[in-house]
A and B are shown apart, each in its own frame.
Chain A
Amino acid sequence: MKRRTLARHGREGIKNIRRNGWMSFASISAVAIMLFVVGVFGFLIINTNSLVDTIENDVEIRAFFEQDVESSQQENLMEDIEQNASVESVIYRDRDEGLDYFLDSLGSEGAVFENLRDENPLNDALIIQATDPQMTEPLAEEIRSQPEVETVEYGETILSELFTVTNYIRVIGGALVIGLIFTSIFLISNTIKLTIISRKDEIQIMKLVGATNSFVRYPFFIEGMLIGIFGAIIPIAGLTAGYYYLHSFMYDQIPFFTLVDPNPMIWQVSAILLFISVIVGAFGSQMSVRKFLRV
């Protein structure tokens, strides 16, 4: 193909958007609305997952030493635990700190127990976090078996239920995202198909006048790609602005619950939306044109 013919196909692709004004408008709008919905759900699922991660990361093991364990023994055990591959972090908290922490956690109610300071019932402890929160239980059992350790606490009763719930949330979220992506692919390609079916006669005439299949196809490829680009730009702009606003709004209003940082998450989501839209637009048009080329 000559270069000027390639340039001609590009020009025709652009002109066709204008020539089929209403049809282009309708398909760009349909693509935009679809991607907007996918984007909103995407944000929702990403934030739910991040919330689930935060909850899981709050899970910690508290291992209390026996009363009579020497500080050197405590240090040795702490080093051993730090060496363990499934341990994220170990913090040493002596009994006085432990009591402060306990009383603080009770807030104003803590005043009732102030007299405990005279005779601290707590032991020195290690606060351990597992690299994978779901590995907390086996890790806790391992630590429990150490002779220096008196008791181990990690909220064992609610832990397995918590992980069941969080795993469900993750699976459902993932399935929703995949389902939405497939639905959007299907709907975008169907929209493109409609614009092309309405131009079946045009394709037939091109063929009868002696156009090769690729000559017919190229402008449709460009047109499909452009519909994809225009259809993606609008929701991407809206979603980006909306998310930035919502992020700062939530940050001001509900400080203890922050949304996932917009940067780089929003750019990643935008890139995925644009990619889906352009690829489906360009290749969806090709699949639809193919049917009418047999003239």
Chain B
Amino acid sequence: MITMKRVRKQYPNGVQALNGMDIHIDKGEFVYVVGPSGAGKTTFIKLMIRELKPTEGTIHINGKNLGDLSNKQIPFLRRKIGVVFQDFKLFNKLSVYENIAFALEVIEESPEKIKSQVMDVLEIVGLKSKARFNPTELSGGEKQRIAIARAMVNQPAILIADEPTGNLDPETAWSIMGTLEEINNRGTTIVMATHNSHIVNTLKKRVIAIESGKVVRDEAGGAYGYEA
């Protein structure tokens, strides 16, 4: 489903974010990506949605080489990958409902289907009652869950989450993990970048550790492995 081969990414300012990354993730997997700050986790995510292009190497998603995509094809790639951004990236001027509906308007869904699907995901993340609120009126955890709801609403094959439990209290963090597991159980591949050692060590999944832009460890049911 996701294959990276010898991927190197150097930024124009000379910083080498990834340095020969090899990764293979199968359909339906739940993978933690761990590593110290600046290890290249966010770059890894940006490469998957073609926000960035690799300097060297190839990335295949669903069998498609991202290097071969034209600019016009990029939106269609992004619709197959739901992303929960570290900074949420919600539209602050739109309501919670409109934020989630946007992902469906983009694929030109019918208004009836938009309504039912948005209400369904709001039910899943437990924020049905906040549909009319603006993101600015929500707590960090609630925003996080709205971001997850938007990422999953069009039932993408892959869901990528960048620190989805960052800055959250443990209780909220666990409820978000519950949501992600539920989505994973429906067959969605989940890639989650995290610093939360407690979660990684408790909810055992495959762990890919990145350091200095390289995979240094890749084990099923692995531990976090860094000082928390």
Residues of A near any B CB (own CB < 8 A): 1-2, 4-5, 8, 19-20, 201-202, 204-212, 215, 295
Q: Closest 4 interchain pairs by CB?
A: A210-B79, A210-B78, A19-B93, A212-B75
Chain A contact surface mostly:
helix
- Chain A residues with Cβ under 8 A from B150's Cβ? 209
Interface segment out of the listed B20-28, B59-67, B99-107, B188-196: B99-107
A4 lies within 8 A of B93 (CB): no
Residues of B near any A CB (own CB < 8 A): 49, 51, 72, 75-76, 78-79, 83, 85, 89-91, 93-94, 102-103, 105-108, 110-111, 150
CA distance A206 to B90 in the complex (A): 10
A208 lies within 8 A of B49 (CB): yes
CA distance A20 to B75 in the complex (A): 26
Q: Which of A19, A20, A205, A207 has the most chain B CB within a 10 Å cutoff?
A: A205
CA distance A207 to B74 in the complex (A): 9
A202 lies within 8 A of B75 (CB): no
A207 to chain B, nearest CB (A): 7
CA distance A204 to B154 in the complex (A): 19
- Chain B residues with Cβ under 8 A from A201's Cβ? 89
- Chain B residues with Cβ under 8 A from A212's Cβ? 72, 75, 106
- Chain A residues with Cβ under 8 A from B94's Cβ? 19
CA distance A217 to B76 in the complex (A): 17
- Chain B residues with Cβ under 8 A from A209's Cβ? 78, 102-103, 106, 150
- Chain B residues with Cβ under 8 A from A205's Cβ? 89-91
Apart from A208-B89, A210-B107: 13 A-B pairs, beta carbons within 8 A: A1-B108, A4-B111, A5-B108, A204-B89, A205-B89, A206-B102, A207-B75, A210-B76, A211-B75, A212-B72, A215-B75, A215-B106, A295-B51
Given A209-B102, A210-B78, A212-B75, the answer on whether A2 and B108 have CB atoms closer than 8 Å is yes
A208 lies within 8 A of B93 (CB): no
- Chain A residues with Cβ under 8 A from B78's Cβ? 207-210
- Chain A residues with Cβ under 8 A from B105's Cβ? 5, 8
- Chain B residues with Cβ under 8 A from A4's Cβ? 108, 110-111
- Chain B residues with Cβ under 8 A from A211's Cβ? 75, 102, 106
Taking CB as reference atom, which chain B residue is nearest A294?
B71
A208 to chain B, nearest CB (A): 6
A292 to chain B, nearest CB (A): 13
CA distance A206 to B107 in the complex (A): 12
B188 to chain A, nearest CB (A): 16
6 A/B residue pairs, CB under 8 Å, sorted by A? A4-B108, A205-B89, A210-B76, A211-B102, A211-B106, A215-B106
